[in-house]
Amino acid sequence: MIDTVFLTDYAWPDDSVEREIVESAGMRLVSGPAAPLPASGIEALAREHLPSAILTCWAPVSAETIAASARLKIVARLGVGLDNIAVDAATARGIFVTNVPDYCVDEVSDHAVGFALAWTRGLMIFDREVHAGRWSPADARLRRLGALTCGLVGFGRIARATAHKLGAFGCRLLTHDPFLREPVPGVQAVALDELLANSDIVIVHAPLTDGTRHLINRERIAKMRRGSLLINVSRGGIVDTDAVIEALQSGQLSAAGLDVLDSEPRVPDELLRQRGAMLTPHVAFSSDASLLELRRRATEEVVRVLRGEAPRNPCNSPAA
Q: What percent of the chain has pLDDT over 90?
A: 97
* Other beta carbons less than 10 A from residue 179's beta carbon: 7
Of 235, 295, 297, 304, catalytic: 235
Q: What is the mean pLDDT of residues 257-284?
A: 96
Per-residue pLDDT tens for 49-90? 999 999 999 999 999 999 999 999 999 999 998 999 999 999
**pLDDT at 286 exceeding the cut of 90:** yes
> How does residue 320 score in pLDDT terms, banded at 50, 70 and 90?
low
CATH 3.40.50.720 at 4-103+288-306, yes or no: yes
Do domains 4-103+288-306 and 105-279 share one topology? The answer is yes
Of 282, 293, 296, 300, catalytic: 282
CATH number of the domain at 105-279, please?
A: 3.40.50.720
Q: What percent of the chain has pLDDT over 70?
A: 100
Residue ranges per domain, the chain?
A: 4-103+288-306, 105-279
282 is catalytic: yes
**pLDDT at 319 exceeding the cut of 80:** no
219 is catalytic: no
**pLDDT at 4 exceeding the cut of 80:** yes
Residue 306 CA from chain centroid, whole number: 28
**pLDDT at 108 exceeding the cut of 90:** yes
Q: What is the mean pLDDT of residues 137-163?
A: 96
C-alpha separations of 83 from 47, 80, 87, 223 in Å: 22, 9, 8, 28
